[in-house]
Structures are given as structure tokens and as C-alpha cells.
Amino acid sequence: MTRLARLLRQQDSSGLGPTLTSALAVIGREGPLTLGELAAAERVAPATISRAVAKLEQRGLVLRRGVAGDGRSFSVELTAAGRDQLAANRSRRHAWLSRQLGELSPAELHRLDAAVDVLERLTGTAR
């Protein structure tokens, strides 16, 4: 699983790196999020998320907005450029994975499909 995840990450040509790419994906999937929520989702220190968000903001991929009723807090959401970047990343990964899956035999594809249920149970996700 780790090797497959690494190979999929290598399909990203944005130059963001794994930390920024992951933060961008979480914001896209669950956002808008406060920095604390994002740090918890990524399971990293708040300082790490602060640096990551600053870099994403410098690239124009996210936007900080004040949280109503709390002058000290803000949330982070994707910009149009951030959504475009996520779509491009997904497109490259999906194309690569489709090519790899296309090289498998029907029996291998069947075994892989059967393994998905077990992997989803282990990760707490659903199909």
C-alpha cells in the first residue's frame, strides 16, 4: 500500500510536495476548515499546518476567511486555482492507475476487487 501511494504521489507534477498536496486535498474534500481542524485531519502540529497554509496561500491555491464571531480565527478554503490544481492532480493519478489496472488479468482484477472490502474495513471507509 505504501509503495502504491508513493507511486501515485509521484504522478503529481505540481511541485507542491506531499504535505501541501495532502493539505490541499483535505481542504478540497472537507473545507472550509480552521487551521486546528486541518491540523487534526492531517494529524500534524498546528505550526506545520500554519506553514503549509501560508505556502498554499502564496501560490494562490487557498484563501483565508475570518470566522464570524471570532476575530482571532479564520478558515481556509480552496480558490478556483486550488480546485483546478486538485483536478489536475487527480486526473494524472487516475490516468496512471487506469494504465496499470489495464495490464492486470481478469483474475487479478477480481482478487483486487475482493481485497477492497477488507482494505475499506481496515481504514474505516466505505465504497
What are the pLDDT digits (tens) for 48-81?
A: 999 999 999 999 999 999 877 777 788 999 999 9
78-105 pLDDT tens trace: 999 999 999 999 999 999 999 999 999 9
On average, the pLDDT of the chain sits at 90
Query: Checking DSSP bridges between strand 70-78 and strand 62-67, what pairing results, if any?
Result: antiparallel
Res 55: pLDDT: 96
Res 126: pLDDT: 65
Measured CA to CA in angstroms, residue 76 lies from 36, 51, 101, 118, 126 at distances of: 11, 13, 36, 34, 27
Pairwise CA distance, residues 126 & 117, whole Å: 8
> 21 with 90: CB under 8 angstroms?
no
Res 127: pLDDT: 55
pLDDT over threshold 90, residue 30? yes
- The CATH number corresponding to 2-123 among 3.50.50.60, 3.10.180.10, 1.10.10.10, 1.10.3470.10 equals 1.10.10.10
